[in-house]
A and B are shown apart, each in its own frame.
Chain A
Amino acid sequence: MAPASSLPDLPRSRTHPFHPPPEYEQLRKESPISRFLWPNGVEGWLVTGYSEVRTLLADPRLSINRFNSPPPSVSVVKDRKPEAMLPRSLVAMDPPEHTPWRRAIVKEMTPRWARSMEPRIAAITHEYLDRIREAGQPADLVTDLALPVPSRVICEVLGVPAADQAFFQEQAEVRSQVGAPPEKVNAATTALYEYLGQLVADKRRTGNREDVLGRLVHAEIAGEPAPQDIVVGQAMLLLIAGHETTANMIGLGVATLMDNRELIADLADTAKGTALVEEILRMHAIIQWGIIRRATDDIDVNGVRIAKGDWVVCSLSSANRDESRYSCPHLVDPGQPQAPHLTFGYGVHQCAGQSLARTEVRVVLRELFATFPELRITVPVEELRYRYEMWVYGLYECPVVW
């Protein structure tokens, strides 16, 4: 048994659903890189300052590689096997292995391509808005709009049959629960892995190069044919990250706009709508427990020595509220000088789908409020059910009338 830690417990209670734990403010001011004990008994560094998070996420001495011992975690589930969470993918690879895979994927998702997707995203959005209108009031925007639209979009992009949406949404939801028992997580992972394995094998067999997974399975990576098991790992990452995060951001965006109704008009204008969405993204860094790295060497940063082997957890939500960067850190203010937020991370692992996500959030919110200008949530936003117990923060439901 390990000796008891003398470190303080990680602060992790929110006092408002839109804001990170209040202790982070003092940490940013006094010790933006400090050691804590995580609920699973593992010690690590919590990084809360904007410039410290940026500096460390850009440091090649911090590895994202699949870890051979349990990282600091808010999950206290016994026998959780982090390596069972996902097959190998971008989020388990360091450069130089990471570089050719990253390129093969990001070339499919450039900002220019995301802009070209706008009409298709709007059309899909209207399909679901029509259903909402037909079904009548009230509606739950999470199940009726925020979840299915990004899910349909990523299906079309990757080349996954839309008919299987319900199946993978269900598996992804299990995997997102902090408290899910390991056997359930493993079963969901295996089910997804087998499903995508079949799909990818079919694309290879039929020579299908019409969608992202079809092109990826036929790609050469660093001069070699792409190994099928890694293509399946990448497929799982893109499928899960491609709908769950965006879905939660849309829900939180609607809730945020309820208290800032004067900003809804901004959505009609592309430039203003883009700035508003950046503020919504800054307010809600939904990877709520931060992103984890491990030091492969000693790192001296701001007078702190991070030792080789130490865990480092970068809090994106805290960095986004850094008082030294934002004049109104806790308010949605598209007019304030825009230090780029860190919701998509930073460094070579910055979100590969960020341009698609930005476009989806803006188009879905724009079409929603253009269709239902009087839309309102039926309870005060503080009383909605928030996903405190999930890896990806957001709303469980968003009941609305119009």
Chain B
Amino acid sequence: MPRVIVDENRCCGAGLCAQELPDVFDQGEDAVVVVLEENPPAELAERLEAVTFACPSGAIRLVRE
């Protein structure tokens, strides 16, 4: 499973990730993305890809090790 990495400086606070996958992402101070689960379960793979694609600022990366 991929590891979730976010770039807080790029984040523009749309919150689409936290809305779609609230167990993986949250919005912290100033609506900036917070990762709650860096290694999400395999069954979320497809939705993680979708959220990463939808992110308007390109702040989410999925890293496969």
Interface residues of chain A, those whose CB is within 8 Å of chain B, are: 58, 99, 102-104, 106-107, 110-112, 340, 345-348, 350, 354-355
Choose one: A107, A340, A345; the contact of B31 (CB below 8 Å).
A107
Choose one: B15, B53, B58; the contact of A355 (CB below 8 Å).
B15
Q: Which partner residue on chain B sits nearest A342 by CB separation? A: B56
Q: With both chains docked as a complex, state the minimum distance between the C-beta of B11 and any C-beta of chain A, in angstroms.
A: 9
Of residues 15 through 43 on chain B, the ones whose CB sits less than 8 Å from some CB of chain A are 15-16, 18-19, 27, 29-32
Q: How far is the CA of A110 from the CA of B29 in the complex (A)?
A: 12
Whether B15 pairs with A350 at a CB distance below 8 angstroms is: no
Whether A350 pairs with B31 at a CB distance below 8 angstroms is: no
Contacts A340-B53, A347-B57, A350-B56 given: A110-B12 contact, CB under 8 Å?
A: no
Whether B19 pairs with A111 at a CB distance below 8 angstroms is: yes
Specify which chain A residues have a CB less than 8 angstroms from the CB of B18 in the assembled complex. Answer: 110-112
Let me know if B14 is at the binding interface, CB within 8 A: yes
Whether B15 pairs with A111 at a CB distance below 8 angstroms is: yes
Q: Bin chain B's interface residue count.
A: 10 to 19
Whether B12 pairs with A102 at a CB distance below 8 angstroms is: yes
Q: With both chains docked as a complex, state the minimum distance between the C-beta of B54 and any C-beta of chain A, in angstroms.
A: 4
Specify which chain B residues have a CB less than 8 angstroms from the CB of A346 in the assembled complex. Answer: 56
Whether A103 pairs with B32 at a CB distance below 8 angstroms is: yes
Q: How far is the CA of A347 from the CA of B50 in the complex (A)?
A: 16
Contacts A348-B12, A350-B12 given: A110-B27 contact, CB under 8 Å?
A: yes
Whether B57 pairs with A348 at a CB distance below 8 angstroms is: yes
Candidate in A58, A102, A347 with the most chain B CB atoms within 10 angstroms: A102
Whether A340 pairs with B12 at a CB distance below 8 angstroms is: no
Q: With both chains docked as a complex, state the minimum distance between the C-beta of B21 and any C-beta of chain A, in angstroms.
A: 12
Q: With both chains docked as a complex, state the minimum distance between the C-beta of B61 and any C-beta of chain A, in angstroms.
A: 14
Whether A355 pairs with B13 at a CB distance below 8 angstroms is: no
A-B contact pairs, 30 of them (CB 8 A): A58-B57, A58-B58, A99-B12, A102-B12, A102-B13, A103-B13, A103-B30, A103-B32, A104-B30, A106-B12, A106-B14, A106-B15, A106-B31, A107-B31, A110-B13, A110-B27, A110-B31, A111-B15, A111-B16, A111-B18, A111-B19, A112-B27, A340-B50, A340-B54, A345-B56, A346-B56, A348-B56, A348-B57, A354-B14, A355-B19
Candidate in B18, B19, B32 with the most chain A CB atoms within 10 angstroms: B19
Q: With both chains docked as a complex, state the minimum distance between the C-beta of A281 and any C-beta of chain B, in angstroms.
A: 13
Q: With both chains docked as a complex, state the minimum distance between the C-beta of A167 and any C-beta of chain B, in angstroms.
A: 31
Q: With both chains docked as a complex, state the minimum distance between the C-beta of A394 and any C-beta of chain B, in angstroms.
A: 24
Q: With both chains docked as a complex, state the minimum distance between the C-beta of A109 and any C-beta of chain B, in angstroms.
A: 8
Q: Which partner residue on chain A sits nearest B51 by CB separation? A: A340
Specify which chain B residues have a CB less than 8 angstroms from the CB of A112 in the assembled complex. Answer: 15, 18-19, 27
Q: With both chains docked as a complex, state the minimum distance between the C-beta of A252 and any C-beta of chain B, in angstroms.
A: 23
Q: How far is the CA of A391 from the CA of B15 in the complex (A)?
A: 28
Q: How far is the CA of A104 from the CA of B13 in the complex (A)?
A: 10
Specify which chain B residues have a CB less than 8 angstroms from the CB of A103 in the assembled complex. Answer: 13, 30-32
Q: Which partner residue on chain B sits nearest A346 by CB separation? A: B56
Q: How far is the CA of A346 from the CA of B50 in the complex (A)?
A: 15
Q: Which partner residue on chain A sits nearest B20 by CB separation? A: A111
Q: Which partner residue on chain A sits nearest B58 by CB separation? A: A58
Q: Which partner residue on chain A sits nearest B56 by CB separation? A: A350
Whether A106 pairs with B19 at a CB distance below 8 angstroms is: no
Whether B15 pairs with A110 at a CB distance below 8 angstroms is: yes
Given contacts A103-B31, A110-B15, 20 further A-B pairs with CB under 8 A are: A58-B58, A99-B12, A102-B12, A103-B13, A103-B32, A106-B14, A107-B13, A107-B29, A110-B13, A110-B31, A111-B18, A111-B19, A112-B15, A340-B50, A340-B53, A346-B56, A347-B12, A347-B56, A348-B56, A350-B56
